[in-house]
Structures are given as C-alpha cells and as structure tokens.
Chain A
Amino acid sequence: MPIFANPAYDTAHLLDTFVLVLSFALLYQRRLFAMITLYAWQAFFLAAAAAWQAYAQDAPHLYITAAIALVFKAIVIPLALHRIIIYLDIHRSIETALGIGPTMAVGVGLVALSILLVLPVTAASGALTRESLAAALSVVLLGLLMMITRRNAVSQVVGFMSLENGLILAAVGVKGMPLVVELSVAFSVMVAFIIFGVFFFHIRERFDTLDVHDMEQFRGEGR
C-alpha cells in the first residue's frame, strides 16, 4: 500500500489527530457523563501516542508515561469523577457561558493561533515535530477554552485535565524530554485532582450547587 509508506510518521499523526478531535468533542458535549467518557478516550489515545513514540524513538521511559496516562487518566480519574457525580447528585447537563457554536469557532481560531505560533519557532525541525507540537498546543488552548466557557465545576476540572493531556502530548512528541519532568507533571495533576475533589465537597456543602456562577453572585461579582 503506497499510502502507508512512512508508518512511524503516519501513526503518530493519526494518534495526535484523535487527541485533537476529542478535544473538540469535549467542547461540543453537553452531558456530564458523556464528557467524562470522551475525556477517558482522549487519555487512552494519549497513552497510545506515548507508547508509539516510545517504540518509534526507542525511548523506553516513554512506556512509563504511557502506563501512567492509561491507568490514571483513562481509568482512575474518570471512575473517580463518575463516583463524585453520583455521590453529590449533580445536575447532569452542562450550562455554557458561551453557546456551543461560538465556542467551537473560537476553538478553531485557537488552533490557527497555535499553528501560527509553532511554525516560526520550529522552522528548523522536521514536519512530524512541528505537527505534533501544533496539535499539542491546540489541545492545551482548547482545554483552557473549556475551563473558561463552562459554568460547572466538574467540567472545568475535565477541561484542566484535558489541558494537561496536551502538555503530555507535547512532551512525548519532542525527543529528549526527561522522565522527571513528566513524572512531576503527572503527580502535580494528581494532587490538583485531589484538591479539586475536596473543593467539590466544600463548594457543594456551602452553596448546594457546583455552578460557579452562584458563587460569583455570592461574592457580589455576578450580574
């Protein structure tokens, strides 16, 4: 098959694309459980991308990154979020601060921005590095966008986690990223997740809701 002439490049590309498309799917999704499932899939493809890079670059430490992504992000965190949602009995449709359509349009703008940013910086490196860096930066920016446009605290956390997926995607795409950095990122995310979990309970205890809009009103900032 002439179409698969360069499998290392093509497979990495394919996995990057899946992660990016799932970022858009996260922006598009309105239901809490479906969003968490999408997040789990994104983490799964991230793990696959890391494992593929470990194989293609012959860098065994990336297998550890892949394993961390698979176990924690694709299985443990989604299950924990599921349990939190059921336990707290959260309203399961998401209110958005901006409509879905405009959000997606802003998302495409962010992808264009990240490409414009990555192109001049990486002029010397190969197309693979450039494309995966562009995709990874887009995932980071889309995660930020999701945190901005969602009113529900759980979906903001999912946005944060997906942002972190983008960071890992950037890290595995570039040769020579030390394992220590990745491990520290992974652990800081775990810590952040635990803190978020504690916050969920406190916010809920005090305000009876996880809609951050109500908190703004309480502080006298809201409309």
Chain B
Amino acid sequence: MRSALLELLQLALPVGLAPLLSGLVRKLKARLNGRIGPGLLQPYRDLSRLLRKEVVLAPNASWLFRTSPYLIFAAIWLAAAIVPTFATGLLLSRTADLIALVALLGTARFALALAGMDVGTGFGGIGASREMMIASLAEPAMLMVTFTVALVVRSTSLQHIAEYLLTHDVGIRISLLLGVLSLLIVAIAENARIPVDNPATHLELTMVHEAMVLEYSGRHLALIEGAAMVKLLLYVSLVAAIFFPWGLATDIDDARALAVGLGSYVLKLALAGVALAFLETSIAKMRVFRLAELLGGALLLGLLAAIFLYVSQEL
C-alpha cells in the first residue's frame, strides 16, 4: 500500500514539478537579461490554456500526426518515472534500467521526427533532419556514459547505481568526472537548450525543436510542450541520481528519510535551474554544423571516462 502510494507520488512529481522548473529557468533568464519576465507559474497557465483550445489540423495530416503527441508524452513520462527522484527501491524503477531509458527517449524522438515530417512543410522536415543529426551524435555519448557508470557499479539499473554510489566509497574517479561532463553536454543537446538550440524562438531558420512542432496546436501542442518540460526535469533527475545522489532515501519505510529525499530533490532541481539559466545567458547559440564537434567532444569524453576506468581498476 505504502509503496504503491509512493510510486504514485513518483509518477506525479515529474509532471507536477516540470512546468515549475521551466518557469524558474525562464524567470531567471528574463531577470538576467534585465527584464521582469513572467511569473514562476506561467508555464502551468500556458499549458492549461493550450489544453482548452481547439486543435487546428492541416488537411493532409495523417493519424500519425494526431497520435504522436500522446505517444511522446507517454514515453517521456514513463522514462521520468524510472529515474529515482527522491527515493530508491520504488516499484517501477525495478522494471527498467538505463538502456531502457535511452530506448524510451529514442522512441519519443522518433515519433516527434516523423510527426514533424508528416504535414510536409519545409520547417518540419528541416527540424526533423536536424533533430536526427543531433540524436545520432548524442545517443552514443549517452550510452558511453551509461557503460562507464555500469562498469563502476556493475549494474545498469538506475536504483542500484544510485544506492551503490551513495553507500560505497568509489572516490572522485577521473572517469566519473569525465562522465558527468559528457552527460551534461548530452542533456543540453537533448533538451534543445542554448548552445544547441534556442528554446525561446519561433520562426527562425536555425531552430530545431520548435521547427518540428510548428504545425501543432491546442491540446496536441500542450502535450508536446509538457513532454519537453518533463524531459528537462528527467535529465536533471538523471544527473542528480547518478552523480549527486546525496539525500536520496534508500529505505521507503523511513518517513524522515523520505522527507529529506523530497527536500533535497527540490533543492537539486532549483540549483540545476539556476545553473542552466546562467549558462544560457552567458553563451551564444552555435552554428548547426559545429554541433558535431560539441557532441563529438561529449562522445570522446565518455570514451575517455571508460579508458580511465580501465587504468584505475587494474589495481
């Protein structure tokens, strides 16, 4: 009973907090740019407005275009439920590991790219092709980090990883540091944040994510925007769970540990939001054709992490 309730909380938490995290990043970015900016709760208002609005479909939109938003949101939500947020040992996190997480995210991306090309506008196609280019570069890096962490912990299950790093002395391995750098670059690319893509633009030739969803409206758009917010929160939780697992509750019967877990999780989210806002205001967007270098760098960092693991394990 208790574990079921906690699982429900774990499911509700990403969806409930994701718009707040996005709102925090937008607000901070606005303040750093010298604007007042919308309130923290603005993303919730946007989403509820979009949910109430009518859907406008292009005449040649197929079933794919109409079903994709639900598929994308479901896949991302499920992926977010796998990542330990405030406690380990919950029901759902036992069922899937890091590789399944990468696969779920890949499924969502596949559906989004297909939907982007479905209506046949030029923007949708260019967005989809760029998204696929970014994905084909970011996914190997993500898997490389996964393998590195799996080699340290000897498991790909996320809750095992978090528990192991929380309780064992692994030291600040060169590998883990390189891994976190690589994963951060991947996270920025996957979430279409600033050096890769600008989340705040519409109708610009360089946009990637916005180009794919240009034809969406109403509740479909709400689902896609919501999925993007949940994905941002997912990546923050992932980095927090693997590399900064402090405060995570390992015993779900201990109410105090759970409270500490929740509190530290919210704190980590807030810190990540502040860091992201500072990063996005301090650097400029990159040219699309230089992304290969950035993400190639992430892949190489992941590779280096694996290589250095070999050195330190041959003791």
- Beyond A6-B171, A9-B171, A108-B300, whether A100 also contacts B311 by CB under 8 A is no
Query: What are the interface flags for A79-121 relative to B under an 8 Å C-beta threshold, 1 for contact and 0 otherwise?
Result: 0000000000000000000001100110110011001001100
Query: Is A13's beta carbon under 8 Å from chain B?
Result: yes
Within 8 A of B (CB), among A116-146: 118-119, 127, 130-131, 134-135
A4 to B296, CA, bound (A): 31
Docked Cα-Cα span, A14 to B176, in Å, equals 10
Residues of A near B301 (CB, < 8 A) are 21, 24
Question: Of B171, B173, B296, which is in contact with the most chain A CB atoms at under 10 Å from its CB?
Answer: B171
Q: Contact between B293 and A112 (Cβ–Cβ < 8 Å)?
A: no
Contacts of B304 in A (CB 8 A): 20, 24, 108, 111
- Give, as a whole number of angstroms, the nearest-CB distance from B240 to chain A: 14
- Tell me whether B171 and A17 are in contact (CB under 8 A): no
B303 in complex: contacting residue of A3, A13, A16, A108, CB < 8 Å = A108
The answer to whether B174 and A135 have CB atoms under 8 Å apart is yes
List of A residues within 8 angstroms of B168 by Cβ: 2
| Chain A facing B: main interface SS | helix
Cα A115 to Cα B173 in complex, Å, equals 15
Nearest chain A CB to B243 CB, angstrom units: 10
- A14-B169 in contact given A28-B293, A104-B297, A130-B311 (Cβ < 8 Å): no
Known A-B contacts A13-B173, A14-B172; A111 and B307 likewise in contact (beta carbons under 8 Å) = yes
Give the distance to chain A from B185, nearest Cβ to Cβ, in Å: 11
Nearest Cβ in chain B — how far from A10, in angstroms? Answer: 4
B218 CB, min distance to chain A CBs, angstroms: 42
Question: Considering the complex, which residues of chain B in the window 184-233 have a beta carbon less than 8 Å from any beta carbon of chain A?
Answer: none
Q: A16 → chain B, closest Cβ, in Å?
A: 7
In the complex with contacts A17-B177, A17-B178, A21-B181, A28-B172 CB distance below 8 A: no
Report yes or no: B314 in contact with A119, Cβ–Cβ below 8 A.
Answer: yes
Give CA–CA (A4, B171) in the complex, Å. Answer: 6
Q: State whether the Cβ of B292 lies closer than 8 Å to any Cβ in chain A.
A: yes
Q: Does residue B110 face the partner (Cβ distance < 8 Å to A)?
A: no
Q: Given contacts A1-B246, A10-B171, are A131 and B293 in contact (CB under 8 A)? A: no
Query: Interface of chain B, helix or strand or loop or mixed?
Result: helix
- Interchain CA distance A107-B178 in the complex, whole Å: 15
Chain B interface category by residue count: 20 to 34
Say whether A28 contacts B314, CB under 8 Å: no
Mark each residue of chain A from 45 to 63: 1 if its CB lies under 8 Å from any CB of chain B, else 0: 0000000000000000000
- Provide the bound-state CA to CA distance between A128 and B89, in Å: 35
Chain B minimum-CB-distance residue to A118:
B311
A5 within 8 A of B: yes
B-side contacts of A100, CB under 8 Å: 293
- Whether A28 lies near B297 (C-beta < 8 A) is yes
Q: Which residues of A contact B60 (CB under 8 A)?
A: none
Contact with A along B302-315 (1 / 0, CB 8 A): 01100110111011
Residues of B within 8 A of A134 (CB): 308, 311
CB <8 Å contact, B300 and A13: no
In whole angstroms, how far apart are the Cα atoms of A115 and B292 in the complex?
27
- The answer to whether B296 touches A104, judged by C-beta atoms less than 8 angstroms apart, is yes
Chain A residues closer than 8 Å to B75, beta-carbon distance: none
B36 at interface, CB cutoff 8 A: no
Q: Which residues of B contact A131 (CB under 8 A)?
A: 174, 308, 311-312
**Cα separation A162 to B234 with both chains bound (whole Å):** 38
Chain B residue at smallest Cβ distance from A1: B246
- From A3, A21, A104, A119, B170 is in contact (CB under 8 Å) with A3
Are B174 and A13 touching (Cβ within 8 A)? yes
Q: In the complex, what residue of chain A is closest to B246 when comparing beta carbons? A: A1
Give Cα distance in the complex from A2 to B171, angstroms. 8
Chain B 220-264, CB-CB to A under 8 Å as 1, else 0, gives 000000000000000000000000001000000000000000000
Q: With a CB–CB cut-off of 8 A, which chain A residues contact B310?
A: 115
Tell me which residues from 264 to 308 in chain B have a Cβ below 8 Å from any Cβ of chain A: 292-293, 296-297, 300-301, 303-304, 307-308
Query: What would 18 more interface pairs be, CB under 8 Å, given A24-B297, A115-B310, A115-B311?
Result: A3-B172, A5-B169, A6-B169, A10-B171, A10-B172, A17-B177, A21-B178, A24-B301, A105-B300, A108-B307, A111-B307, A115-B307, A119-B314, A127-B312, A130-B311, A131-B312, A134-B308, A134-B311
- Hey, which bits of chain A sit against chain B, CB under 8 A? 1-6, 9-11, 13-14, 16-17, 20-21, 24, 28, 100-101, 104-105, 107-108, 111-112, 115, 118-119, 127, 130-131, 134-135
23 contacts between A and B (CB under 8 A): A3-B170, A5-B169, A6-B171, A10-B172, A13-B171, A13-B172, A20-B174, A21-B181, A24-B300, A28-B297, A100-B293, A104-B296, A104-B297, A104-B300, A108-B304, A112-B307, A115-B310, A115-B311, A127-B315, A131-B174, A131-B311, A134-B311, A135-B174
Question: Lowest 7 A-B CB distances belong to which pairs?
Answer: A5-B169, A10-B172, A17-B174, A100-B293, A108-B300, A17-B177, A10-B171
